[in-house]
Amino acid sequence: MATTARTVTDVCREAKRASRTLARLDTDTRNGALEAIAAALEARTGEVLEANERDMEAGRAGGLDAALLDRLALDEARVAGIAADVRTIVGLPDPVGEVIEGFRLANGIDVRRVRTPLGVVAIVYEARPNVTIDCTALAVKSGNAIVLRGSSIAANSNAVLAAIATAAATDAGLPDGAIGLVAGGGREELAELATQDGLVDLIIPRGGEGLKAALKAVATVPVIYAASGNCHVYVDADADLDMAEAIVLNAKLQRPGVCNAAETLLVHRDAAAQFLPRALSALREAGVELRADGHAKALAGDLAGSLADASDEDWDTEFLALVLAVGVVDSVEEAIEHVNAHGSGHSEAIVTRSYESAQAFERGVDAACVYVNASTRFTDGGVFGMGAEIGNSTQKLHVRGPIGVRELCSFKYVLEGSGQVRP
């Protein structure tokens, strides 16, 4: 395993060498390595929890907020869940060598477009130590070497998890350097990782807008931003209000510190007078701080005086906490305009019984995931059947939405002839 005694370039160079072997390894060897990782996690859970407790103690002492501590925390159930996710990834079809399409040219040459590993994928992530294993498993399954760069907040957890995965995978036949960890450095280390041209094929930052901005300023290798989630729930004029309330509460409360939680509630003016008092009361009872525009306040009934004023900044903020911005719109078109102006392209939801409104929202909203009558909380690679995810891409090239094993592949054209030459 890579250690902090070696430079970032050393770790990336080893990963590049390993990637050439990984790309040729058979399915059974890669799956065997993943099975070994899952078993090792279960056998060494105590070591993982001990390391995680050191991170938790440091986090509490450093004043980390509740949402960050929740993302950092591991227990026996969460470690068991991580191992189970690895086994789910084992059971997925092998993407390497998958024929995407095939056809024959007029001259008789057979053409196949075949899925191939990217090579070396670097992951930069914050707080969540489960990402260490999730990303490693997805990379191995897709035939890629991986370079991990977690945050100092989870340094102890990440180091133990990476060591366990590396030892298990190497014993099972993966080449040395296939799993690398860089840690201990600051922005200089991040900049060095993001400029490893020729060694790193792709870097994926999984974190907030600060991390995204830091990489944008320095990266010379390709980047896919698995960035923030400023997500909305829009309650349309003829929505089923019981359904709408359940969706809003779930999207905000089920786990408020994650990227697919709702940060803004928009309500059509024709439903607002009936819906807002009940929904806002339930949210307040759950401890949510509500920041409302003037229209929402006017229609909030007895709650109006207790609502804070929503600022322009609130509409653009991923709170990752029990805070919700609330606004009233005059139409589905205005809701779409608001979402596209302030959303981050992650996950957006409409609650409606109108086919026309649903179609307008589906087609008009520019986001990776658009929900009709369902909570935004479902945007997740595990939920989508991918076993886990590297993150959720809010870009359009080359992938969008949850990044799984297929998304960690490129492709090549393989052409087979019988002596043809071009005239």
- Per-domain residue ranges for the chain? 8-226+390-416, 231-378
Architecture of domain 231-378: 3-Layer(aba) Sandwich (3.40)
Amino acid 185: pLDDT: 66
- Helix (H), strand (E) at residue 39: helix 27-43
Beta strands in 220-304 (DSSP E): 231-235, 262-268, 289-292
Closest CA to 294 of 272, 274, 316, 279: 272
Counting residues of the chain whose pLDDT is more than 70, the rounded percentage is: 98
Is the pLDDT score of 279 beyond 70? yes
Amino acid 184: pLDDT: 63
**If you average pLDDT over residues 220-246, what whole number do you get?**
94
Angle at CA of residue 265, ends 248 and 233, nearest 5°: 60
Cis peptide before 398 (omega within 30 of 0): yes
The CATH classification number of 8-226+390-416 equals 3.40.605.10
**If you average pLDDT over residues 133-157, what whole number do you get?**
96
Dihedral of CA atoms 53, 58, 60, 63 in degrees, nearest 10, equals: -160
**CA distance linking residue 32 with residue 20, whole number of Å:** 19
Strand order in the sheet with 409-416: 99-104, 110-117, 409-416
Amino acid 354: pLDDT: 98
Q: How much is the CA Rg of the chain, to the nearest whole Å?
A: 24
Average pLDDT of the chain is 94
Query: What pTM, to 2 d.p., does this model score?
Result: 0.88
Q: Using CB atoms within 10 A of its CB, is residue 77 exposed (0-12), middle (13-18) or buried (19+)?
A: exposed
Is the pLDDT score of 353 beyond 60? yes
User: What backbone phi and psi angles, to 5 degrees, belong to 205?
Assistant: -85, 130
